[in-house]
Chains A and B, each alone.
Chain A
Amino acid sequence: MRTIRLRDVEAHAPPRLFGRRVSGWVAPRRQPALLAVALLIVAAIALLSVAVGSVFIPPSVTLKILLSRLLPLRIAPDWPAAFEQILIEIRLPRVALVALTGAALACSGTAYQGLFRNPLADPYLIGVASGAGLGAMVAITLPVTQPLLVPSCAFVGAVLTIALVYALARVGGSTPVTTLLLAGVAVGTLATAFSTFLLLRLSQQATRVLAFLLGGYGGAGWESVLAVLPFSTLGCALLYLYARPLTLLLFDVEQARQLGVDVERVTLIVIIAATLTTAAAVAFSGLIGFVGLIVPHMGRLLVGADQRRLLPLSTLGGAGFLLLADLLARTVIAPEELPLGVVTAFVGAPFFLWLLRRARRAAFF
């Protein structure tokens, strides 16, 4: 009979919730089915999202309109023409943008948590948020009114910030994650300082600035979706391609190297991909926090830490999560809208409390 020492149990016990082991709940064999179920759930939430608004469009009508547009069938329209217009020009692009943003943030959040081997890592960790904020701020200062100006400047601001952080963090031939973190905090703080300065000068435009900072999709149209789509898709695809090296980095750096991983190269590519994804999302949606933090954790509870399974599930989960949050944002104080960042923050606080409870009993990684 094997005696179990208390030290063994405490150090290596998997976290438990109500007595059931909580990490990696779903057995590896059933995980592809889980992905299919997740896809269906996200599609259902999207349909519901599209339905809700100032005018209620029933899901059946939505499906009919979509089919008539996409397939060369002639379906006699038994719905008001206004429905179709609202659906195609307002609701669908918004839902698409929300889903894209959620997916992008969750995907890059998963990658960052893997790269930094830290469960508190999120897409904004090395300064993307501050850079995007500064870029947006600069754009608002300029006396030009072009709809894509703010997002473009936010994107450029984010990318330049990360480039600076990466350049600062290179030590000899390597970029250890601790220096990345420190450089990110330093540069991020500087960017925030500049932003705050500009904010004080822009007091008349405070609402515009605040709208960006708190996150929301007021004027989303198809051109926004088309602007975000290539970057986010490219970023997420690149991250998934590098899922195995990223998984190996979860062990320590030395083990990864000894299994043949080019740690420097993988670090650089993951940062580039995650930055592209995040910057594109943030440029249009403003700063929406907690998605990149919470969704990977949830995913890990279901399928464990292997990035090849976690990334797809997190991406879908992020889309679903943000769609739900957006639904709440639009309905809670209808006809007004809550900023999306506020809704996710309200979900984030209880989540952190739960993390704290877990942390008392088990290690994360």
Chain B
Amino acid sequence: MSELTIENLSAAYRDRTVLCDVSLAVGSGQVLGLIGPNGAGKTTLLRAISGALVPTAGSIRLGDTNLLRLRATERARRVAVVPQGAHLPEGFTVAEVVLLGRTPHLPRFGGEGAHDREIARQAMVRAAIWELRDRWVGELSGGERQRVLIARALAQEPQVLLLDEATAHLDLKHQTATLDMARRLARSGLIVIAALHDLNLAALYADRLALLCAGRLLTCDTPSRVLTPELLRRAYDVDVVVGSHPLYHTPLVALVAEDDAWQGDQR
């Protein structure tokens, strides 16, 4: 059971600062939702944690290990990413794609063994795609492909699972299914960080929310404390009304139209 600690993280693309002095901590068993407008730095933060981007300042630690000092393979054994709408080339079966997730654990020139196949099988069962294992990935629906990517990430046996807008392009049903799975995985011990567009989904599934705006962390707290009209106006520059979900009593964000005269036409 470890904790992911990010301290004073700053990152830049060329000379444009995209993250400035971000600090937060996520414990295992938790789902942290990253929310904020486009360009706020959600994807950048995820890329810094996964190693795709080298930060200009700050540190990222998982337990006692400094993630920034690890080689790509060692990092891949701890951190797994489920990318958004990722490219899955044709000519691979589901089982093959998931098995490729074992790569960080395999010796440089070795093949997969029985143990690796067993891990891959468990990953496919947890992601509910075991029945699809011999299908070619080109034939799957969007939701199924997403689960294949999740299974591949699970095959890496990570401690941290990063979901980058993993539900943005999916049907409603698949959005809830994916995030249900994410929460179940968190409860089984993983640290899950999900960048989310939909504030209501975030309210429903995340234990804590980190609200980013223009590269800075505005706040990191429980959904009911983060999803307030004042904070949301600061971040998104939009007026909202926050109610309560009828079933779960989590915050329910409702948008307010910019042009009030429109409301009059409706009635």
Contact = CB atoms under 8 A, between A and B. Distances in A.
B57 interface: no
A316 B136 CA distance: 25
B83 A255 contact: yes
A261 B100 contact: no
A304 B139 CA distance: 14
A68 B247 CA distance: 87
A252 B73 CA distance: 17
Given A23-B90, A247-B100, A364-B90, A12 B51 contact: no
Interface stretch (B101-109, B116-124, B197-205): B101-109
A147 interface: no
Contact of A262 (B52, B72, B156): B72
A46 to B, nearest CB: 29
B7 interface: no
Given A12-B138, A254-B52, A24 B91 contact: yes
A43 to B, nearest CB: 27
A247 B103 CA distance: 11
B112 to A, nearest CB: 9
Given A12-B140, A24-B136, A306-B96, A251 B103 contact: no
A258 B136 contact: no
A28 B103 CA distance: 19
Interface in A230-256: 241, 244, 247-248, 250-252, 254-255
Contacts of A23: 90-91, 136, 138
A13 B138 contact: yes
Contacts of A300: 91
A259 B97 CA distance: 12
Contact of A260 (B87, B104, B136, B139): B104
B185 interface: no
B81 A244 contact: no
B20 to A, nearest CB: 24
A172 to B, nearest CB: 11
Interface residues of A, number: 34
B139 A365 contact: no
Interface in A18-70: 21, 23-24, 27-28
A304 B91 contact: yes
Contacts of A261: 72, 103
B103 A255 contact: no
Contact of A251 (B74, B77, B80, B88): B88
B51 A365 contact: no
Interface in B149-181: 156
Interface residues of B, number: 36
B75 interface: yes
A257 interface: yes
A365 B90 contact: yes
Nearest to B140: A12
B97 to A, nearest CB: 8
B42 to A, nearest CB: 16
Contacts of A365: 89-91
B156 A259 contact: yes
Contacts of B266: none
B221 to A, nearest CB: 29
Contacts of B90: 14, 23, 305, 362-365
Contact of A305 (B50, B73, B92, B109): B92
B141 interface: yes
A252 B91 contact: no
Nearest to A303: B91
A252 B93 contact: no
A27 B133 CA distance: 12
B202 to A, nearest CB: 23
Contacts of B142: 8
Nearest to A365: B89
B34 interface: no
Contacts of B77: 260
Contacts of B52: 254, 257-258
Interface string B62-79: 000000000011111101
9 closest A-B pairs by beta carbon, nearest first, are A305-B91, A260-B76, A260-B73, A304-B91, A260-B104, A365-B89, A250-B89, A260-B72, A258-B81
Given A252-B86, A365-B90, 9 more contacts: A12-B140, A13-B138, A13-B139, A248-B100, A254-B83, A258-B83, A260-B104, A262-B72, A305-B89
25 contacts: A8-B142, A14-B90, A23-B90, A24-B93, A24-B136, A117-B89, A247-B100, A251-B88, A255-B86, A255-B87, A257-B52, A258-B51, A258-B52, A259-B76, A259-B100, A259-B101, A260-B76, A260-B104, A300-B91, A304-B92, A304-B136, A305-B89, A306-B96, A365-B89, A365-B91
